[in-house]
Structure 1
Amino acid sequence: MARKLVQIDESKCSGCGLCAGACHEGAIGMVNGKAKLLKKELCDGMGDCLPVCPTGAIAFEESGSRPWPVQIKLVSPAARFFQEADLLIAADCTAYAYGGFHGEFMKDRVVLIGCPKLDSVDYSEKLSEVLGINEVKSVTVLRMEVPCCGGIERAVKAALSKSGKEIPLQVVTVSTQGDLLER
Protein backbone atom coordinates (compact mmCIF):
# COMPACT_ATOMS: atom_id res chain seq x y z
CA MET A 1 0.00 0.00 0.00
CA ALA A 2 1.39 3.40 -0.97
CA ARG A 3 1.76 6.00 1.74
CA LYS A 4 0.14 9.42 1.51
CA LEU A 5 2.16 12.41 2.64
CA VAL A 6 1.45 16.10 2.99
CA GLN A 7 2.64 18.22 0.09
CA ILE A 8 2.78 21.95 0.78
CA ASP A 9 2.86 24.42 -2.10
CA GLU A 10 5.05 27.16 -0.64
CA SER A 11 3.92 29.65 -3.27
CA LYS A 12 0.33 29.36 -1.97
CA CYS A 13 1.25 29.27 1.74
CA SER A 14 0.28 32.49 3.53
CA GLY A 15 2.22 31.56 6.67
CA CYS A 16 -0.87 31.60 8.90
CA GLY A 17 0.29 28.50 10.82
CA LEU A 18 -3.18 26.97 11.10
CA CYS A 19 -1.96 23.71 9.57
CA ALA A 20 0.88 23.38 12.06
CA GLY A 21 -1.58 23.89 14.90
CA ALA A 22 -3.98 21.32 13.47
CA CYS A 23 -1.29 18.66 12.97
CA HIS A 24 -1.63 16.55 16.12
CA GLU A 25 1.43 14.50 15.20
CA GLY A 26 3.82 17.48 15.00
CA ALA A 27 4.80 16.65 11.42
CA ILE A 28 4.22 20.21 10.15
CA GLY A 29 6.06 23.25 11.43
CA MET A 30 6.79 26.80 10.40
CA VAL A 31 10.15 27.72 8.82
CA ASN A 32 10.88 31.26 7.70
CA GLY A 33 7.17 32.10 7.76
CA LYS A 34 6.07 29.14 5.63
CA ALA A 35 4.58 25.75 6.51
CA LYS A 36 6.93 22.80 6.02
CA LEU A 37 6.60 19.05 6.42
CA LEU A 38 9.36 18.67 8.99
CA LYS A 39 8.96 15.02 9.98
CA LYS A 40 7.63 12.75 7.21
CA GLU A 41 7.69 9.76 9.51
CA LEU A 42 5.12 11.42 11.80
CA CYS A 43 2.61 12.30 9.07
CA ASP A 44 -0.35 9.94 9.57
CA GLY A 45 -2.04 10.84 6.28
CA MET A 46 -5.34 11.62 8.04
CA GLY A 47 -5.48 15.24 6.89
CA ASP A 48 -6.34 17.31 9.97
CA CYS A 49 -4.26 20.06 8.34
CA LEU A 50 -6.25 20.12 5.07
CA PRO A 51 -9.55 21.74 6.06
CA VAL A 52 -7.87 24.54 8.03
CA CYS A 53 -5.65 25.77 5.18
CA PRO A 54 -7.32 28.93 3.84
CA THR A 55 -5.26 29.04 0.64
CA GLY A 56 -5.40 25.42 -0.55
CA ALA A 57 -1.62 25.08 -0.20
CA ILE A 58 -1.87 21.59 1.29
CA ALA A 59 -2.63 18.36 -0.50
CA PHE A 60 -1.83 14.71 -0.07
CA GLU A 61 0.07 13.11 -2.87
CA GLU A 62 1.49 9.75 -3.78
CA SER A 63 2.69 8.42 -7.07
CA GLY A 64 -0.22 7.22 -9.20
CA SER A 65 -2.75 8.01 -6.50
CA ARG A 66 -6.12 9.70 -6.60
CA PRO A 67 -6.64 13.12 -4.98
CA TRP A 68 -7.27 12.99 -1.27
CA PRO A 69 -9.20 13.73 0.93
CA VAL A 70 -12.49 12.64 -0.58
CA GLN A 71 -14.87 13.70 2.19
CA ILE A 72 -16.75 16.85 1.17
CA LYS A 73 -16.38 18.20 4.71
CA LEU A 74 -12.57 17.86 4.65
CA VAL A 75 -11.56 18.99 1.18
CA SER A 76 -10.16 22.44 0.51
CA PRO A 77 -12.13 24.21 -2.24
CA ALA A 78 -8.84 25.63 -3.55
CA ALA A 79 -7.18 22.21 -3.96
CA ARG A 80 -5.40 22.17 -7.30
CA PHE A 81 -6.83 18.79 -8.33
CA PHE A 82 -10.20 20.46 -9.01
CA GLN A 83 -8.85 22.45 -11.97
CA GLU A 84 -10.15 21.04 -15.26
CA ALA A 85 -11.66 18.10 -13.37
CA ASP A 86 -14.58 15.88 -14.15
CA LEU A 87 -16.11 15.69 -10.68
CA LEU A 88 -17.95 12.73 -9.15
CA ILE A 89 -19.97 13.61 -6.06
CA ALA A 90 -21.16 10.36 -4.56
CA ALA A 91 -23.26 9.40 -1.58
CA ASP A 92 -21.18 7.22 0.76
CA CYS A 93 -23.39 4.16 0.29
CA THR A 94 -23.06 4.04 -3.50
CA ALA A 95 -19.54 2.62 -3.40
CA TYR A 96 -20.84 -0.34 -1.41
CA ALA A 97 -24.21 -0.81 -3.06
CA TYR A 98 -23.04 -0.68 -6.69
CA GLY A 99 -20.35 -3.19 -7.61
CA GLY A 100 -19.16 -1.20 -10.64
CA PHE A 101 -18.52 1.98 -8.66
CA HIS A 102 -14.75 2.02 -9.06
CA GLY A 103 -14.56 0.83 -12.64
CA GLU A 104 -17.46 2.80 -14.08
CA PHE A 105 -17.56 5.99 -12.06
CA MET A 106 -14.16 6.77 -10.55
CA LYS A 107 -12.02 6.45 -13.66
CA ASP A 108 -10.63 9.84 -14.69
CA ARG A 109 -12.79 11.70 -12.14
CA VAL A 110 -12.03 13.58 -8.97
CA VAL A 111 -14.21 11.98 -6.29
CA LEU A 112 -15.99 13.63 -3.38
CA ILE A 113 -18.20 11.65 -1.02
CA GLY A 114 -20.63 12.47 1.72
CA CYS A 115 -23.83 11.49 3.44
CA PRO A 116 -26.30 14.32 3.96
CA LYS A 117 -28.14 12.35 6.63
CA LEU A 118 -25.14 11.34 8.74
CA ASP A 119 -23.06 14.47 8.23
CA SER A 120 -25.99 16.80 9.04
CA VAL A 121 -24.50 19.65 7.02
CA ASP A 122 -25.46 21.60 3.95
CA TYR A 123 -22.84 20.69 1.37
CA SER A 124 -24.00 23.41 -1.04
CA GLU A 125 -21.75 26.11 0.48
CA LYS A 126 -18.53 24.07 0.19
CA LEU A 127 -19.49 22.76 -3.25
CA SER A 128 -20.36 26.23 -4.55
CA GLU A 129 -16.87 27.35 -3.48
CA VAL A 130 -15.30 24.40 -5.30
CA LEU A 131 -17.29 25.15 -8.45
CA GLY A 132 -16.90 28.90 -8.19
CA ILE A 133 -13.11 29.08 -7.93
CA ASN A 134 -12.20 26.17 -10.19
CA GLU A 135 -12.74 25.35 -13.83
CA VAL A 136 -14.66 22.10 -13.34
CA LYS A 137 -15.54 20.43 -16.65
CA SER A 138 -18.47 18.28 -15.52
CA VAL A 139 -20.28 17.02 -12.44
CA THR A 140 -21.77 13.56 -11.95
CA VAL A 141 -23.89 12.89 -8.88
CA LEU A 142 -24.18 9.26 -7.82
CA ARG A 143 -26.88 8.75 -5.22
CA MET A 144 -29.01 6.00 -3.75
CA GLU A 145 -32.77 5.82 -4.43
CA VAL A 146 -33.58 6.48 -0.76
CA PRO A 147 -35.05 9.88 0.20
CA CYS A 148 -32.11 10.98 2.37
CA CYS A 149 -29.82 10.88 -0.69
CA GLY A 150 -31.93 13.59 -2.25
CA GLY A 151 -29.98 15.97 -0.03
CA ILE A 152 -26.76 15.42 -1.93
CA GLU A 153 -28.47 15.97 -5.27
CA ARG A 154 -30.16 19.16 -4.01
CA ALA A 155 -26.86 20.45 -2.59
CA VAL A 156 -25.08 19.94 -5.92
CA LYS A 157 -27.86 21.64 -7.87
CA ALA A 158 -27.86 24.57 -5.42
CA ALA A 159 -24.07 24.82 -5.67
CA LEU A 160 -24.21 24.86 -9.46
CA SER A 161 -26.79 27.63 -9.31
CA LYS A 162 -24.74 29.67 -6.82
CA SER A 163 -21.57 29.24 -8.88
CA GLY A 164 -23.20 30.99 -11.84
CA LYS A 165 -21.45 28.60 -14.22
CA GLU A 166 -22.87 26.36 -16.91
CA ILE A 167 -21.34 23.01 -15.92
CA PRO A 168 -22.81 19.81 -17.36
CA LEU A 169 -24.58 17.74 -14.69
CA GLN A 170 -25.53 14.06 -14.73
CA VAL A 171 -27.45 12.41 -11.89
CA VAL A 172 -27.30 8.62 -11.58
CA THR A 173 -29.37 6.71 -9.04
CA VAL A 174 -28.49 3.33 -7.54
CA SER A 175 -31.30 1.08 -6.26
CA THR A 176 -31.14 -0.55 -2.84
CA GLN A 177 -30.60 -3.81 -4.75
CA GLY A 178 -27.46 -2.40 -6.41
CA ASP A 179 -28.83 -1.64 -9.88
CA LEU A 180 -28.50 1.62 -11.80
CA LEU A 181 -31.92 3.25 -12.19
CA GLU A 182 -31.04 6.35 -14.20
CA ARG A 183 -28.19 7.12 -16.52
Structure 2
Amino acid sequence: MNLTRKIINIDESLCDGCGLCVPSCHEQAIQIVETPNGPKARLVKEMYCDGLGACLGHCPTGALTIEEREAEMFDEAATHAHVEQVNAPVNRPATAMPHGGCPSARMFQWDEPQQAQTQAQPAAALHSELRQWPVQLHLVPPSAPYFKNADLVIAADCVPFAYANFHQEFLKGDGKAVVIGCPKLDDTGAYLQKLTQIVALNCPKSITIVNMEVPCCFGLVRLVQQAIQQAGVEVPVTVSTISIRGEKFA
Protein backbone atom coordinates (compact mmCIF):
# COMPACT_ATOMS: atom_id res chain seq x y z
CA MET A 1 0.00 0.00 0.00
CA ASN A 2 1.39 3.39 -1.02
CA LEU A 3 0.70 6.74 0.60
CA THR A 4 2.27 10.19 0.72
CA ARG A 5 4.76 10.29 3.59
CA LYS A 6 8.27 11.32 4.59
CA ILE A 7 11.07 9.03 3.43
CA ILE A 8 14.83 9.14 2.93
CA ASN A 9 16.24 10.38 -0.36
CA ILE A 10 19.83 9.54 -1.38
CA ASP A 11 21.61 11.72 -3.92
CA GLU A 12 24.11 9.29 -5.45
CA SER A 13 26.02 12.13 -7.10
CA LEU A 14 27.00 13.29 -3.58
CA CYS A 15 27.36 9.88 -1.94
CA ASP A 16 30.99 8.74 -1.54
CA GLY A 17 30.12 5.30 -0.20
CA CYS A 18 31.67 5.91 3.23
CA GLY A 19 28.97 3.81 4.92
CA LEU A 20 28.54 6.06 7.96
CA CYS A 21 24.78 6.16 7.37
CA VAL A 22 24.44 2.38 7.72
CA PRO A 23 25.01 2.01 11.49
CA SER A 24 22.91 5.10 12.23
CA CYS A 25 19.84 3.53 10.60
CA HIS A 26 18.37 1.30 13.30
CA GLU A 27 15.93 -0.19 10.77
CA GLN A 28 18.84 -1.32 8.54
CA ALA A 29 17.03 0.33 5.62
CA ILE A 30 20.27 1.48 3.97
CA GLN A 31 23.06 -0.62 2.52
CA ILE A 32 26.21 0.07 0.53
CA VAL A 33 26.24 -1.45 -2.95
CA GLU A 34 28.83 -1.50 -5.71
CA THR A 35 27.85 0.58 -8.76
CA PRO A 36 29.72 1.60 -11.95
CA ASN A 37 30.50 4.85 -10.10
CA GLY A 38 31.87 3.13 -7.02
CA PRO A 39 30.17 2.14 -3.74
CA LYS A 40 26.91 4.00 -3.07
CA ALA A 41 24.25 4.03 -0.36
CA ARG A 42 20.91 2.62 -1.45
CA LEU A 43 17.51 2.21 0.21
CA VAL A 44 16.87 -1.52 0.68
CA LYS A 45 13.07 -1.24 0.64
CA GLU A 46 10.75 1.70 1.20
CA MET A 47 8.79 -0.26 3.82
CA TYR A 48 11.89 -0.38 6.07
CA CYS A 49 12.38 3.41 6.23
CA ASP A 50 10.40 5.18 8.97
CA GLY A 51 11.27 8.63 7.61
CA LEU A 52 12.56 9.98 10.94
CA GLY A 53 15.98 10.82 9.47
CA ALA A 54 18.28 9.47 12.19
CA CYS A 55 20.88 8.87 9.48
CA LEU A 56 21.02 12.48 8.22
CA GLY A 57 23.56 13.88 10.66
CA HIS A 58 26.03 11.10 9.94
CA CYS A 59 26.43 11.86 6.21
CA PRO A 60 29.57 13.98 5.64
CA THR A 61 28.63 14.93 2.06
CA GLY A 62 24.97 15.89 2.55
CA ALA A 63 23.79 13.12 0.23
CA LEU A 64 20.89 12.21 2.55
CA THR A 65 17.72 14.27 2.85
CA ILE A 66 14.14 13.66 3.85
CA GLU A 67 11.53 14.17 1.16
CA GLU A 68 7.75 13.83 1.17
CA ARG A 69 6.45 11.68 -1.67
CA GLU A 70 4.30 8.69 -2.46
CA ALA A 71 6.00 5.62 -1.05
CA GLU A 72 5.29 2.20 0.37
CA MET A 73 3.90 2.39 3.90
CA PHE A 74 6.37 1.80 6.73
CA ASP A 75 5.87 -1.77 7.97
CA GLU A 76 7.10 -2.14 11.55
CA ALA A 77 6.67 -5.93 11.67
CA ALA A 78 8.48 -6.48 8.37
CA THR A 79 11.24 -4.10 9.46
CA HIS A 80 11.72 -5.96 12.73
CA ALA A 81 12.01 -9.25 10.81
CA HIS A 82 14.49 -7.62 8.42
CA VAL A 83 16.67 -6.35 11.28
CA GLU A 84 16.64 -9.79 12.89
CA GLN A 85 17.75 -11.34 9.59
CA VAL A 86 20.54 -8.80 9.07
CA ASN A 87 21.84 -9.37 12.60
CA ALA A 88 21.56 -13.16 12.41
CA PRO A 89 24.81 -15.13 12.81
CA VAL A 90 26.77 -15.48 9.57
CA ASN A 91 27.22 -19.13 8.48
CA ARG A 92 26.01 -20.21 11.93
CA PRO A 93 29.25 -19.79 13.87
CA ALA A 94 29.66 -21.70 17.10
CA THR A 95 28.75 -18.71 19.24
CA ALA A 96 27.27 -15.39 18.23
CA MET A 97 27.50 -12.62 20.79
CA PRO A 98 24.25 -10.59 20.86
CA HIS A 99 24.75 -7.17 19.34
CA GLY A 100 22.55 -4.96 17.20
CA GLY A 101 23.24 -2.11 14.82
CA CYS A 102 26.03 -1.92 12.26
CA PRO A 103 27.25 -5.23 10.81
CA SER A 104 30.81 -4.05 11.45
CA ALA A 105 30.15 -4.14 15.19
CA ARG A 106 28.48 -7.57 15.31
CA MET A 107 30.48 -10.00 17.42
CA PHE A 108 31.18 -13.63 16.51
CA GLN A 109 33.14 -16.47 18.03
CA TRP A 110 33.99 -19.87 16.58
CA ASP A 111 35.97 -22.68 18.13
CA GLU A 112 37.99 -23.93 15.16
CA PRO A 113 39.88 -22.16 12.37
CA GLN A 114 38.31 -22.13 8.92
CA GLN A 115 40.84 -24.69 7.66
CA ALA A 116 41.82 -27.16 10.38
CA GLN A 117 45.10 -29.07 10.14
CA THR A 118 44.56 -32.62 8.96
CA GLN A 119 47.71 -34.03 10.56
CA ALA A 120 48.80 -33.78 14.17
CA GLN A 121 52.10 -32.03 13.58
CA PRO A 122 53.54 -28.74 14.80
CA ALA A 123 53.10 -25.83 12.42
CA ALA A 124 56.23 -24.24 11.00
CA ALA A 125 57.10 -20.91 12.55
CA LEU A 126 56.12 -17.95 10.39
CA HIS A 127 58.22 -14.83 10.19
CA SER A 128 56.90 -11.30 10.00
CA GLU A 129 57.20 -9.69 6.55
CA LEU A 130 56.83 -6.21 7.99
CA ARG A 131 59.69 -3.99 6.95
CA GLN A 132 58.72 -0.62 8.44
CA TRP A 133 57.35 1.21 11.46
CA PRO A 134 54.96 2.88 12.08
CA VAL A 135 52.11 1.47 10.03
CA GLN A 136 49.10 3.48 11.30
CA LEU A 137 48.07 6.02 8.67
CA HIS A 138 47.86 8.88 11.19
CA LEU A 139 51.44 8.22 12.30
CA VAL A 140 53.41 7.56 9.11
CA PRO A 141 55.35 10.51 7.63
CA PRO A 142 54.38 11.03 3.96
CA SER A 143 58.05 11.53 3.02
CA ALA A 144 59.22 8.23 4.54
CA PRO A 145 61.76 6.59 2.21
CA TYR A 146 59.97 3.24 2.20
CA PHE A 147 57.04 4.83 0.31
CA LYS A 148 59.18 5.92 -2.67
CA ASN A 149 58.07 4.00 -5.79
CA ALA A 150 56.71 1.28 -3.51
CA ASP A 151 54.01 -1.28 -4.01
CA LEU A 152 51.77 0.26 -1.37
CA VAL A 153 49.35 -1.86 0.65
CA ILE A 154 46.52 0.07 2.32
CA ALA A 155 44.67 -2.19 4.74
CA ALA A 156 41.78 -1.85 7.14
CA ASP A 157 43.21 -2.43 10.59
CA CYS A 158 40.98 -5.49 11.22
CA VAL A 159 42.33 -7.30 8.14
CA PRO A 160 45.57 -8.75 9.61
CA PHE A 161 43.54 -10.27 12.45
CA ALA A 162 40.90 -11.80 10.17
CA TYR A 163 43.15 -12.99 7.32
CA ALA A 164 45.77 -15.46 8.50
CA ASN A 165 47.87 -15.22 5.33
CA PHE A 166 48.10 -11.42 5.31
CA HIS A 167 51.88 -11.22 5.73
CA GLN A 168 52.70 -13.90 3.19
CA GLU A 169 50.28 -12.71 0.54
CA PHE A 170 50.34 -8.93 0.84
CA LEU A 171 53.60 -7.92 2.57
CA LYS A 172 56.15 -10.44 1.32
CA GLY A 173 58.61 -9.19 -1.30
CA ASP A 174 60.90 -6.28 -1.98
CA GLY A 175 59.54 -2.77 -2.32
CA LYS A 176 56.40 -3.29 -0.21
CA ALA A 177 55.07 -0.61 2.12
CA VAL A 178 51.94 -0.75 4.25
CA VAL A 179 49.59 1.60 6.07
CA ILE A 180 46.53 0.65 8.08
CA GLY A 181 43.47 2.56 9.25
CA CYS A 182 39.79 2.39 10.11
CA PRO A 183 37.43 4.50 7.95
CA LYS A 184 34.64 4.05 10.52
CA LEU A 185 36.36 5.17 13.71
CA ASP A 186 39.10 7.56 12.57
CA ASP A 187 39.20 11.04 11.00
CA THR A 188 38.67 10.37 7.29
CA GLY A 189 39.48 13.99 6.43
CA ALA A 190 42.96 13.53 7.89
CA TYR A 191 43.24 10.17 6.14
CA LEU A 192 42.45 11.76 2.78
CA GLN A 193 45.05 14.48 3.30
CA LYS A 194 47.75 11.99 4.33
CA LEU A 195 47.00 9.57 1.49
CA THR A 196 47.07 12.41 -1.04
CA GLN A 197 50.49 13.49 0.25
CA ILE A 198 51.86 9.94 0.14
CA VAL A 199 50.73 9.42 -3.45
CA ALA A 200 51.82 12.86 -4.68
CA LEU A 201 55.28 12.71 -3.06
CA ASN A 202 56.18 9.11 -3.79
CA CYS A 203 54.44 8.03 -7.03
CA PRO A 204 53.83 4.44 -5.85
CA LYS A 205 54.10 1.72 -8.50
CA SER A 206 50.83 0.17 -7.35
CA ILE A 207 48.25 0.34 -4.59
CA THR A 208 46.55 -2.70 -3.11
CA ILE A 209 43.54 -2.01 -0.88
CA VAL A 210 42.56 -4.76 1.54
CA ASN A 211 39.29 -4.13 3.36
CA MET A 212 36.76 -6.08 5.36
CA GLU A 213 33.37 -7.12 4.00
CA VAL A 214 31.40 -4.83 6.36
CA PRO A 215 29.78 -1.81 4.62
CA CYS A 216 31.65 0.99 6.40
CA CYS A 217 35.00 -0.54 5.43
CA PHE A 218 34.39 0.21 1.74
CA GLY A 219 34.96 3.86 2.62
CA LEU A 220 38.66 3.03 2.46
CA VAL A 221 38.35 2.36 -1.28
CA ARG A 222 36.68 5.69 -1.86
CA LEU A 223 39.33 7.55 0.15
CA VAL A 224 42.11 6.07 -1.97
CA GLN A 225 40.26 6.94 -5.18
CA GLN A 226 39.86 10.55 -4.00
CA ALA A 227 43.51 10.76 -2.93
CA ILE A 228 44.76 9.57 -6.32
CA GLN A 229 42.50 12.07 -8.06
CA GLN A 230 43.68 14.96 -5.89
CA ALA A 231 47.33 13.96 -6.27
CA GLY A 232 46.99 13.91 -10.06
CA VAL A 233 49.04 10.70 -10.33
CA GLU A 234 48.07 7.57 -12.26
CA VAL A 235 48.44 4.50 -10.07
CA PRO A 236 47.08 0.99 -10.75
CA VAL A 237 44.76 -0.06 -7.92
CA THR A 238 43.53 -3.50 -6.91
CA VAL A 239 41.03 -4.30 -4.15
CA SER A 240 40.77 -7.45 -2.04
CA THR A 241 37.93 -7.98 0.43
CA ILE A 242 38.19 -10.22 3.48
CA SER A 243 35.23 -11.82 5.25
CA ILE A 244 34.89 -11.86 9.01
CA ARG A 245 35.60 -15.61 8.82
CA GLY A 246 38.95 -14.93 7.15
CA GLU A 247 38.02 -15.75 3.55
CA LYS A 248 39.28 -13.64 0.65
CA PHE A 249 36.60 -12.64 -1.87
CA ALA A 250 38.85 -11.02 -4.47
- Regarding TM over 0.5, the answer is yes
TM-score relative to the length of structure 2:
0.46
Q: Tell me by how many angstroms 1:68 deviates.
A: 1.1
**Any gaps of 5 or more consecutive residues in structure 1?**
1-63
1:87 alignment partner, one of 142, 152, 157: 152
Match of 1:54 in 2: none
Match of 2:202 in 1: 134
The CA deviation string for residues 33-74 of structure 1, in whole angstroms up to 9 with x for no partner, is xxxxxxxxxxxxxxxxxxxxxxxxxxxxxxx96121100001
- The separation in 1 between residues aligned to 2:193 and 2:244, in whole angstroms, is 28
Q: Tell me by how many angstroms 1:175 deviates.
A: 1.1
Matched, 1:121 2:221: no
Q: Tell me by how many angstroms 1:176 deviates.
A: 1.6
The CA deviation string for residues 112-165 of structure 1, in whole angstroms up to 9 with x for no partner, is 000111213331111010000112110000000101101211111111111111
Matched to 1:151, the amino acid is G
Matched to 2:142, the amino acid is P
Aligned residues: 119
The CA deviation string for residues 18-41 of structure 1, in whole angstroms up to 9 with x for no partner, is xxxxxxxxxxxxxxxxxxxxxxxx
5 Å-filtered alignment, 1:33-72, equals 66-72=131-137
Matched, 1:178 2:246: yes
Matched, 1:110 2:177: yes
Matched, 1:157 2:225: yes
**Any gaps of 5 or more consecutive residues in structure 2?**
1-128
- The separation in 1 between residues aligned to 2:230 and 2:162, in whole angstroms, is 31
Matched to 1:118, the amino acid is L
Aligned CA RMSD, in angstroms, stands at 1.4
Larger radius of gyration: 2
Q: Tell me by how many angstroms 1:80 deviates.
A: 1.2
- The separation in 1 between residues aligned to 2:161 and 2:179, in whole angstroms, is 15
Q: 1:65 to 1:145 in 2, by over 3 A?
A: closer
Give the percent of matched residue pairs that are identical in Structure 1 and Structure 2: 48
Matched, 1:146 2:214: yes
TM-score relative to the length of structure 1:
0.62
